[in-house]
Structure 1
Amino acid sequence: MKTIDSIAAELQGYDPQALSAETVNAFLSRLVEPVTEQESVGIFQALGRVLSQNVISPISVPPHDNSAMDGYAFNGAQLSSQALSLKVLGTAMAGKAWSGVAGPGECVKIMTGAIMPAGLDTVVPQEFVSCEGDTVTIPAGLLKVGDNRRELGEDLMQGQPALLKGELLTPAALGLLASLGINSVPVWRKLRVAYFSTGDEILSLGEAPREGAVYDSNRYTVFGLLTRLGCEVIDMGVVRDEPALLEAAFVHGALEADAIITSGGVSVGEADYTKAMMKKLGDVAFWKIAMRPGRPMAVGQIIRAKLASSPYAASASSYFKNSNKALSGSAVLFGLPGNPVAVMVTFLAFVRPALLQMMGSTAQQPPLLKARSSEVIRKKPGRTEYQRGTVSTAADGSLHVKTTGNQGSGVLSSMVQANGLIVLHHAQGNVAVGDEVDVMMFDGSI
């Protein structure tokens, strides 16, 4: 098990009081380990899961040469600089091979997907020919040999990998599996993530309002983010700022999950029960990230061997305990800020890629979109800023982005209005109207 100190020693310029966003991701990529347990699931349960083995194609796709068009199949060697007239011998339908033989000067009417008759290699679309009785005429210069024919194995050849280990199974991948006649696939087990909010000022839904208190939105946001990612979510509610309650939450989370996410309790000046309990039960670093929003963050491991003496360990029943793993290894800890927008930004920028790695996924972060700013954006070099923005398409087809206005880290409505985050990089300064900026789009994540 790697320690915080050993990982920090690998990173040049590591400073927990002023970490760049790039260094955070480099650190987390060294900290987390993929799950190792596999299972087999049916195709209807496979969406969003991660393949644990290569899927080898049991057949060739297509399984035979076939027509890509409704038209007429013929031997392309007959093409010349002159128009070509051919006698139609019959019709080849999809799903049933045509059994005749076509020679020189002859062709076969063919439907899309139908097997190419023996000796025929070219298809002319039906709209390009002129017909007279049982004869069709193909204009000169229209085709070349092999046009409009799909060759055997053109998509996939039997025995070759169709999908690779580590791929996230998308709707398109499910269709590909079905096209190969495969109805179940090997996947890594689902990642289990426990989550709770901290703070005496946090109200759960159903509680009566009280002065100075706010309703907890973070649990529901994180639930949505984790569910979209395909994790098994363990909602542990709101935990008050009391050492015994925090210890119980961390112990149960570590024995039930691969990762624990908290919100609140990691900022400078906050009650340090949360930070103290993280230190007591784990190996944790407390960071000040050079970013906005979301500067404070804690990361590390809750070490299960440290939980043996806790009075709360005996009452925890879990996957890990039942599989004799309760007191071995660790649960990765992500201590996020308390402000709602900061929670989402730090999740998207740092936690999501780390969890994907833990899921066994080889997926890369989605590429940033380029768009031109519709307004001046003030920015100081020396930190990465994530501003909520709306991308739209101008009349000329170019992409433009504008901020949603107030960028306060507690303005949750602005995340609903936005369709992406404008990413202003560490060394970047002010943005002028028309300048190109990077945007992290929300589709599929928020």
Structure 2
Amino acid sequence: MTLQEIAASLPGYEPESLCLERACAFIARALPPPSPARERLPLQALLGRVLAEDLISPINVPAHDNSAMDGYAFSGAELRPGQPTVLRIAGTSLAGDEPTGPLAAGQCRRIMTGAALPPGLDTVVPQELVQRPDGEHILIPADALKPGANRRLAGEDLARGEQALAAGRVLKAPDIGLLASLGQTEAAVSPRLRVALLSTGSELCAPGQALQPGQIYDSNRYTLTALLQRLGCIEVIDLGLVKDEPAALREAFAEGVARADVLISSGGVSAGDADHTKRVMADMAETGELLFWQLLMRPGRPLALGRLPRADGTAALLFGLPGNPVAVMVSFYALVREALLRLAGATPAPLAMLRATSLQGLRKKPGRTEYQRGIVSRAPDGGWQVETTGDQGSGILSSMSRANGLILLAHDQGSVAAGEAVDVLPFDALM
């Protein structure tokens, strides 16, 4: 389906005033399917990669019924309501020992956490609950526990044949531990999505060089590189800083299309730009395959979306982000992040959100989504509270550095009074 066909089928599509929800829905429909390619990597190389196949447990975890406590294992049938239980100690089971044979009636076995329960024993009394009248017996007080207490069942964590991890999962540290617990040494993952970055603008200067009059340092490429690396499943291709000259722009865009699955540029997409970026994008795009949007969001109003053709008939996806440093970060998280994860083969989970009490009034008009930089802290009552970092200008990058979350004010929401609850996206989940 072409971008124009998607636009025609999307209710309420207005490129000059497009709400964030519809823009996200549009992008989701414009994504090509992820690559079917697979590669197998060892456990040490899996962090942040996308699992390409369902992982089915080949074993029961745990393999045997085992003790959840240090204590004494016995048959729960020995317990009598309202009566103490006296048992004779018959040996010790340590974690890693092979299960021993059954015990005689009236016997128990000293057992450590994780040790396999001998046949016929189904209950463990914690060592701190028993009395030791001599060196050979224990006394369990009346009604201290019920049959089956403190027993971990075989397969309780995972049963043989059960799905342990689903394809599309971005692997985190616990997942890698889970793979190891199943005896796996490697896993099949999707290849890293190749994303090319470039910054445009003749006013930009590379860090390390002397600023000339009218110039500013390029920060967006370094910010976006870090945000992409944070995802783990992305290969970043840095196309550098490109002057606002048609030949240089065309060459950089052509290189990005040839080398990457996705091309992200910053700068040169706002309505008032008097540069060549838009024209070069349009020249390279297939007919009807480049759109410029004015989004109902703040910061991050301008955005370009396109498909740039390759010689083999496929296309690279283009995201043209605004040039202001805060706007480029907000646009990335509001619109681009989930799209990249899906292209990488992942099934993204919704980002965690906090509810926090606003310590100040927040001015907002209904009809656009706003992201304000916030500092979240613990309130005296143990809940969360948030205040802004001050000036919310989209060029004030230091405010993003001071913040630890984004206050999300929804499209239809109006101004917020001090003391009202607001939604906050914590940076720990993002950056």
TM range (shorter): over 0.9
Q: Offset of 1:35 from its aligned partner?
A: 2.3
Deviations 1:180-210 (A, max 9, x none): 1101100110000000000000001222111
Is contact 1:294–1:342 with CA below 8 Å preserved after alignment? yes
Corresponding residue of 1:193: 195
Deviations 1:2-56 (A, max 9, x none): 3111111221000000011111110111111222211111111010000111011
State yes or no: 1:232 paired with 2:210: no
State yes or no: 1:121 paired with 2:127: no
CA distance in 2 between counterparts of 1:354 and 1:365 reads 13
CA distance in 2 between counterparts of 1:279 and 1:32 reads 19
Q: Which ranges in structure 1 are unaligned for 5 or more consecutive residues?
A: 306-326
CA distance in 1 between counterparts of 2:348 and 2:151 reads 34
Corresponding residue of 1:16: 15
Corresponding residue of 1:312: none
Corresponding residue of 1:439: 424
Letter in 1 for 2:89: V
Corresponding residue of 1:298: 304
Corresponding residue of 1:50: 50
Match of 1:164 among 154, 163, 166: 166
Deviations 1:123-173 (A, max 9, x none): 000011011221101111221111111100000111211111101100000
Question: Which aligned pairs between 1:22-421 and structure 2 lie closer than 5 A?
Answer: 22-33=21-32, 34-81=34-81, 82-133=83-134, 134-230=136-232, 231-282=234-285, 283-305=289-311, 327-421=312-406
Letter in 1 for 2:24: N
CA distance in 2 between counterparts of 1:70 and 1:10 reads 64
Q: Tell me the number of residue pairs that the alignment of Structure 1 and Structure 2 aligns.
A: 424
Is contact 2:88–2:106 with CA below 8 Å preserved after alignment? yes
Q: Offset of 1:365 from its aligned partner?
A: 2.5
Runs of 4+ in 1 over 2 A off after TM superposition: 97-101
CA distance in 1 between counterparts of 2:336 and 2:117 reads 52
Q: What percent of counterpart residues are identical?
A: 53
Q: Offset of 1:98 from its aligned partner?
A: 4.7
Evaluate the alpha carbon distance shift between residue 132 and residue 97 of structure 1 in structure 2; reply closer, same or farther with a 3 A threshold: farther
Letter in 1 for 2:120: G
CA distance in 2 between counterparts of 1:103 and 1:408 reads 78
The normalised TM-score by structure 1 is 0.94
Which secondary structure state, in structure 1, belongs to the residue aligned with residue 357 of structure 2?
strand
Q: Offset of 1:78 from its aligned partner?
A: 1.7
Q: Which ranges in structure 2 are unaligned for 5 or more consecutive residues?
A: none
Corresponding residue of 1:319: none
CA distance in 2 between counterparts of 1:260 and 1:387 reads 27
Which secondary structure state, in structure 2, belongs to the residue aligned with residue 189 of structure 1?
coil
Deviations 1:65-103 (A, max 9, x none): 110110000000121221111110110111112524312
CA distance in 2 between counterparts of 1:368 and 1:293 reads 19
The normalised TM-score by structure 2 is 0.97
Is contact 2:352–2:429 with CA below 8 Å preserved after alignment? no
